[in-house]
Amino acid sequence: MFKFSFPNKLDKKVPLLLPVCSDQIKTVPKKLLNGLSKKQTEAVRAALRKGVPDDGLLPVYSGDATVLLMLLAKEKSLKTRSVRETSSQIFSAARKYKIDGLTILTGTLNDELVRAMREGIVIGSYEYNDWKGVIHKEKAKKQTTLKSVSFTGNKTAGESKRLLQLQKSIALTKDLINCPPKTATPSYLEKKSREIARQLKDVKVTVFKEKELKKMGCNGILAVGRGSHEESRLIILEYKGGGKKAPIALVGKGVTFDTGGYSLKPSQYLESMKQDLGGAATALGGFYAIASLGVKKNVIAVIPTVENSINSHAYRPDDVIKMYNGVTVEVTNTDAEGRIILGDALAYTAKKYNPRAMIDMATLTGACAYAVGNDFTAALGTNNDLISKIIESGKEVDEPVWELPLHERYKKELDSPIADIVNCSKLKAGTVEGGLFLQHFVPKEINWCHLDIASVAFDESKKQATGRNVRMLLNFVKKY
């Protein structure tokens, strides 16, 4: 990871990055060019007259230090999100143009936009190379890597520690989702959880394995994991930063690979099913950010984790499961397994901890992207104030959340002829159905919100995790 610094003087040998708004190209403000040499100024003006490429980044050479131009939207319409997204390309651009250090001239940007730029650079520096081999290593030896970034004209040096911890938290989430399923198993999630507990103060971890889960009556977790040689688990991390106040619970679905069980997924949907632990990864990343930054709140992360595989012991359609809270579930689709393990986890968390807020997150339904697209997280819940604060927290960090209804008239769709409910009906509003199912495992007095992150956790075009909602959870917990 590179270092941030805030120099009083410019090092004339270090390349510069200059943010330029699109309405500053023709009539470049003098303030924007402060710090550039005469040669650099002339070269920048000439480059701007020719235009900046589509990716918004252009190196300008003059004989003095390189100036990397970063084109932004019009100054009055600049948003933190667009600045963050453009800045996330700086790390790869620096490698492309063989730049190992940058001084950023903040120019006309205000503190909020500069902060977004810093976040973009830090988050954009993420690379997942754990499984790269000899070819990659040989290429890496020849590559230049950005190691230091300096900012001028800005007084928020204290942000550096927060940003680097945030990067570690988001990287944790991305690493877990990107990791191949042969490695990222339930036992691996336990290992990572124990590592988190060792690294942080005021954190303890508890792990229930199958013997304990059977005694507890967590039959939903046990049923879904029965087809795998990997032992299922319920992992609980507790952070005590807020005195005696009731905790905020983050419950994350941890299906480390989802075949669909006997309701087997079509082959095109099997690829990338390593992302089905996205809820667990997001909960752990959010928890790590909260605890590592010393947020003065009590928070627990609850991770039910299984592998949904097929063998002669696997659970089947037509099975009936008696869940932790006594609700019986007729299995109509073994590929609707995430809600079953979450049901046990939610009911246990509510009874054991009586949290003042309980938020579950899961890559629960393929229908989610059809409902809200690939830019929104879907939210459903029982407490308007809680949902409003989650939506507000997402808006503030540019991770939008959209509420869907737990519509009362749809509940009858989950009625079963032989049990209390089915785990999957023919309701077309699949994301709403998932929320309605989970509602059966949350006591009415608990403030609860379900986040379906299937639309945002994984970028299918890049085949990479996004790390979305870690920042939102941190922002939410700090304020709630």
Supply the residues annotated as catalytic.
265, 339
- Measure the CA–CA gap between 198 and 195, rounded to whole angstroms: 5
Nearest to 125, CA basis, from 167, 72, 81: 167
DSSP for 14-78 reads: S-EEEEEEGGGSSS--GGGGTT--HHHHHHHHHHHHH---TTSEEEE-SSSS-EEEEEES-GGG-
- Report CA-CA distances (Å) from 395 to 314, 402, 471: 42, 10, 11
Both structure tokens of 249 = 């619970």
**Other Cβ atoms within 10 Å of 154 Cβ, number:** 17
| Residue that has been written with the tokens 């063998």 in this structure | 311
3-state SS record for 90-145:
HHHHHHHCCCCEEEEECCCCCHHHHHHHHHHHHHHCCCCCCCCCHHHHHHHHHCCC
- Strand-strand pairing, 448-452 and 421-422: unpaired
Specify the pairing of strand 328-330 against strand 320-322: antiparallel
**220 contacts 209 by C-beta, under 8 angstroms:** no
Task: Using the CB atoms, write b or e for 293-329: b if 16+ within 10 Å.
Answer: eebebbbbbbbbbbbbbbeeebbeeebebebbbebeb
Q: Do the bridges between strand 248-252 and strand 233-240 make them parallel or antiparallel, or are there none, so unpaired?
A: unpaired
Owner of token pair 């270092």:
3
User: Are 351 and 249 in contact, with CB atoms under 8 Å apart?
Assistant: no
Question: Structure tokens of 400?
Answer: 């939008």
77 Cβ contact list (under 8 Å, min separation 6): none
